Amino acid sequence: MSAGLQIRGVSYTYGPKAALSDISFAVPAGRFCALLGPNGAGKSTLFNLLTRLLVPPSGQIMVAGHDLAKVPGLALAAMGVVFQQPTFDPELSVRRNLLFFAALHGLAGREAAARIDAALERLAMRERAGERARDLNGGHRRRMEIARALIHRPQFLLLDEPTVGLDAASRRSVTDHVHALAADGMTVLWATHLTDEVAPDDQLVILHQGRVLADGTARDIAGPDGLTPTFLALTGGEA
Ligand SMILES: Nc1ncnc2c1ncn2[C@@H]1O[C@H](COP(=O)(O)OP(=O)(O)OP(=O)(O)O)[C@@H](O)[C@H]1O
């Protein structure tokens, strides 16, 4: 059984509109994969399929060796998710937000506390555990949500445009922290439309109009012209 993520021949349509057309790519275990695409490329649709908010009529999705259609419970349990829209209680402290999530996974008491401390530590957020979520800046809120996604010890982390609305320094910090998680063995799928969030050694999948236009190491895809001009040339975009 191979770990990581495998997507094979997945399509999805909204009525007559094709959002994804025969998508296939694989992310090896412990790899950071940037899913890069302009607005409307199909990134959110793919995330909704991966989290089973939508069910694909065809194709196969394997998460950490588990077939999402056949054993959804196992596949979803192996997955940590950070949605594009914030999903936390602003009136609760960081720790209380994470305790609530831990309880949803059947974790309580010392076990929950230890896991929460470890997750916050990985995102350099432990000293903020007692702060009210509302009082955090945008970057720290995102890091809290990423820490929360680690509590149930997933093997695969999905993030949907996690830096939307953040300033440059916070974007860099969040991006660096998630690259560090991948360096520690986490398989990561990071959706973005921003080329500067992709590191040269990352796996890069370029999605455009529901199709995979490129899949490889970012450095190789960027070539001598650099990633931004290459991406714009491939997708017909404007600077
Ligand atoms: N509920 C829906 N009904 C009809 N069409 C939809 C629906 N959701 C998305 N689409 C269409 O499917 C295509 C892919 O959209 P999707 O939201 O997956 O792209 P995206 O890459 O996430 O874009 P964005 O960055 O703007 O969120 C687009 O053409 C979009 O208009």
CATH number at residue 211: 3.40.50.300
Task: Clarify whether residues 147 and 162 are in a common domain.
Answer: no
The residue nearest atom 5 of ligand 1, judged by CA position, is 14
Residue 110's CB: how many other CB atoms inside 10 A? 8
Q: Is 14 in the pocket of ligand 1 (CB under 6 A)?
A: yes
Token output for 123 = 């995102």
Residue 239 has pLDDT above 50, yes or no: no
Task: Clarify whether residues 231 and 171 are in a common domain.
Answer: yes
ipTM of the complex, rounded to two decimals: 0.95
How close is the Cα of 54 to the center of ligand 1, in Å?
13
Q: Is 208 in the pocket of ligand 1 (CB under 6 A)?
A: no
Q: Decide which of 130, 152, 174 is a domain's last residue.
A: 152
Q: At what angle do helices 168-183 and 138-148 cross, to 10 degrees?
A: 20
Spatial distance between the Cα atoms of 31 and 131, rounded to a whole number of angstroms = 32
Q: Which domain holds residue 143?
A: 90-152
pLDDT band at 5 (very low <50, low <70, confident <90, very high): very high
Tens digits of residue pLDDT in 210-225: 999 999 999 999 999 8
Q: What value does the mean pLDDT of the chain take? A: 93
- What lies within 8 Å, CB to CB, of 113 at 6+ separation is none
Tens digits of residue pLDDT in 164-190: 889 999 999 999 999 999 999 999 999
What pLDDT is recorded for position 217?
A: 97
Task: Clarify whether residues 211 and 183 are in a common domain.
Answer: yes
Q: Checking phi first, is residue 45 left (phi over 0); if not, alpha (psi -120 to 50) or beta?
A: alpha
How close is the Cα of 104 to the center of ligand 1, in Å?
30
Quickly list H helices, 123-158: 138-148
Q: Decide which of 152, 179, 204 is a domain's last residue.
A: 152
Pairing of strands 187-192, 32-36: parallel
- CA–CA distance from 82 to each of 17, 130, 139, 143 (Å)? 27, 21, 13, 10
What pLDDT is recorded for position 165?
A: 87
How close is the Cα of 44 to the center of ligand 1, in Å?
7
Q: Is 45 in the pocket of ligand 1 (CB under 6 A)?
A: yes
Task: Clarify whether residues 166 and 231 are in a common domain.
Answer: yes
Task: Clarify whether residues 45 and 109 are in a common domain.
Answer: no
Tens digits of residue pLDDT in 42-98: 999 999 999 999 999 999 999 999 999 999 999 999 999 999 888 899 999 999 999
Task: Clarify whether residues 228 and 195 are in a common domain.
Answer: yes
Q: Decide which of 152, 173, 193 is a domain's last residue.
A: 152
